[in-house]
Amino acid sequence: MSVPASLQHYAAEHFINRELSLLQFQRRVLAQAADAAVPLLERLRFLCIVSSNLDEFFEIRVSGIREQIRLGSHATGIDGLEPAELLPRIAAEVQAILAEQYRLLNDDILPALEREGVVFLRRGVWDEAQSAWIHAYFQREAMPVLTPIGLDPAHPFPRVFNKSLNFAVELEGRDAFGRASNAAIVQAPRVLPRIIRLPEKPGQAPHTFVFLSSVLHAHVDELFAGMHVRGCYQFRVTRNSDLFVDEEEVKDLRAKLKGELQQRHFGDAVRLEVADNCSEEMADFLLQQFRLNPADLYSLPGIVNLVRMNQVPDLVERPDLKYPALRPGLPKPLERRCDTFAVLHHQDVLLHHPFQSFAPVIELLKAGADDPQVVAIRMTVYRTGTDSVLMEHLIRAARNGKEVTVVLELMARFDEEANISWATRLEEAGAHVVYGVFGYKVHAKLLLLVRRESGTLRRYVHLGTGNYHPRTTRFYTDFGLLTANEDIGADVAEVFKQITGLGRASTLTHLWQAPFSLQPNVIAAIDNEAEIARAGRRGRIVAKINALLEPETIEALYEASQAGVEIDLIVRGPCALRPGVPGLSENIRVRSLVGRFLEHHRILCFRADGEDKVYLSSADWMQRNFFRRIEIAFPVLDPRLKRRVMKEGLRLYLSDNAQAWAMQPDGRYKHETPRGKARSAQEMLLGELAS
């Protein structure tokens, strides 16, 4: 999003480019793969996470930049870089990341795995028994589903699926019809596994695997009988996967999205990956077919679909090469009593995932579905997965006659298909399904149950920083608050009314809501700390977020720093603010933590003259979250729980000297090395909260 110069008070050099900052995050993830202290199979996972992240980066971010260039746009972001300037800088940085990634894979991780009995057989080392087994596998499993496509006037270049594995084959000779095509394409069907496990015999180790690419490459000549195969090269194309829906033309969002999803896999190409043995002639030919430039070509010394290796840790039964099993704990109030409604009568409950279980949220919804006293349930759903026990409880609640309303975000990127399916099932069960407000993604995490008690209606609420997705709650750090506070319940009910109905936004008692009051309240809280500092008292801000990109917020932080406010920011991903610049941000420190779990919770703490105002939020400090989404920040009112959030979510992370990276003024990051005893926030939380 470009920012008009008249609205930007600080010069462009005081800001860091979003895309380049995001690539710095990929470097920090890659460092986990390089860390010998990380269990070996987990290092492989981190390596695959980098590939997955880069896929989405090209599908969404790079495709957007290319579209700007195509339209002749010279619009700049707050950092002042034009799209045509930015694209080559991205390409150079990605090439450097890939070089390090494949060096780690080929020279470090694969040899280390082989020493542990986890072997990936290359074609050149197959012995006679292995070759025979692999050939039989090819004949039995692969050959019947492969469709080689010779390229000639009757067979144009085929449509290539986004991120699919393909082979470009160079040929000599004539076929049975006398055709002399010198090229063909072989597409690897999605039904075939990309990594194939060999039986103990002829396998040479306890865990022996072969790549599908090796199997097809070794036997590709059998697809072209009587012709000579001069070369066979893996390739993979990444396409624009962003969806565009025109508000003016849409009458039925769900129907429109169904149509758009069919085309997502065939959007404009944005990147071509080839194996490094690919001939220059074939690489040029493929670039022409996908209308790409040489700068869009990435030549890789290994398999081109590295993401698929993410399944290996699940295929290898070696607990000693993985993180110890996670056993989430329960808050003490819920350990003593199983009736959540009764507990919430007396106190709020804070859940810290993944160290504490997500089960209380599931149990609350389950109880609401079955309890005859519960008359209504309302819930927002952004991501929940294709197999969700929460959705099943909502369906059962609707069938039990509850008034169930689900605000289901159909535009949740890459989860659209799953959400459309849930919408259909919920409606069939009798639930009210609404898709929010067109133009504003519903990203707030809200669950409201209305229960009849002693002749009156009482609200029970869950608010969270993460999605209602039971699987990701085991890997993402998030906070959830269970409460029966009347004012918070009334605020949540008002937000649901705004989303599902019509009318002006009302003033809320406790909640800050985007796109109305969230950003102004954040700015006001920052400005208040600056005023406190100017008056000679201590100003202090600590925030933990996933991204910091919104210009007005950054400028308010710069002003607060210059007023003398001490500011610590824990930003997992992209950060456009430059910390530690004399005269600009010398009182601001930015750190990022990368570890076993994905840091995901958003925490805002303002000292407020010793009052310590603490908010948890669904929103990052980005333009989209503040102005184009429906988001919530909610206060932690219970002093005891507030202290927990400040300790578990902030102080432990500020004291981490094992997995923390300090951001430098130029946007690069320096890994903090332990002085004395190593302290990892995630490890300490596992020790304190997990069972």
Catalytic residue set: 443
301 DSSP 8-state letter: S
Rounded to 5 degrees, φ, ψ at 379 are -155, 140
**What is the spatial distance between Cα 557 and Cα 553, in angstroms, rounded to a whole number?**
6
Encode 505-573 in three state secondary structure: CCCCCCCEEECCCHHHHHHHHHHHHHHHHHCCCCCEEEEEECCECCHHHHHHHHHHHHHCCEEEEEECC
The identity of residue 381, as a single letter, is V
User: Which residues on adjacent β-strands are paired with residue 374?
Assistant: 451
For residues 573 and 547, the answer to whether their CB atoms sit within 8 Å is: yes
Cα four-point dihedral sign 485, 487, 492, 493: positive
Amino acid at 615: Y
Given its phi and psi angles, is residue 469 left (phi above 0), alpha (psi -120 to 50 degrees) or beta? beta
CA distance 216 to 255: 39
Ranges of beta strands (E only) in 255-321 are 269-275, 297-300
Cβ atoms 559, 643 nearer than 8 A: no
**Helix, strand and coil in the chain, % to nearest 5:** 40, 20, 35
Neighbours of 531 (CB within 10 A): 13
User: 3-class DSSP state for residue 24?
Assistant: helix
Strand ranges (E), 98-211: 118-120, 149-150, 166-172, 183-187, 195-197, 207-211
Q: Could you tell me if 252 and 183 are in contact, meaning their C-beta atoms sit under 8 angstroms apart?
A: no
Residue 397 token pair: 């609640």
Task: Give 665: exposed, middle or buried? Use CB within 10 Å, 0-12, 13-18, 19+.
Answer: middle
Instruction: Name the residue with tokens 């070089």.
Output: 99
Contacts of 55 (CB under 8 A, 6+ apart): 163, 238, 307
One-letter identity of residue 557:
L
| Burial category of 511 from C-beta neighbours within 10 Å (exposed 0-12, middle 13-18, buried 19 and up) | buried
- Per the structure block, which two tokens stand in for 497? 């009314």
The 3-state secondary structure of 338-390 reads: CCHHHHHHHCCEEEEECCECCHHHHHHHHHHHHCCCEEEEEEEECCCCCCCHH
Q: Where are the beta strands (DSSP E) in 430-528?
A: 432-434, 441-442, 446-453, 456-464, 476-483, 512-514
H or E element, residue 670: strand 669-671
* Cα–Cα distances in angstroms (integers) from residue 568 to residues 160, 663, 681, in the given order: 47, 11, 16
Contact 397, 231 (CB under 8 A): no
Would you say the C-alpha torsion 148, 151, 154, 155 has a positive or negative sign? positive
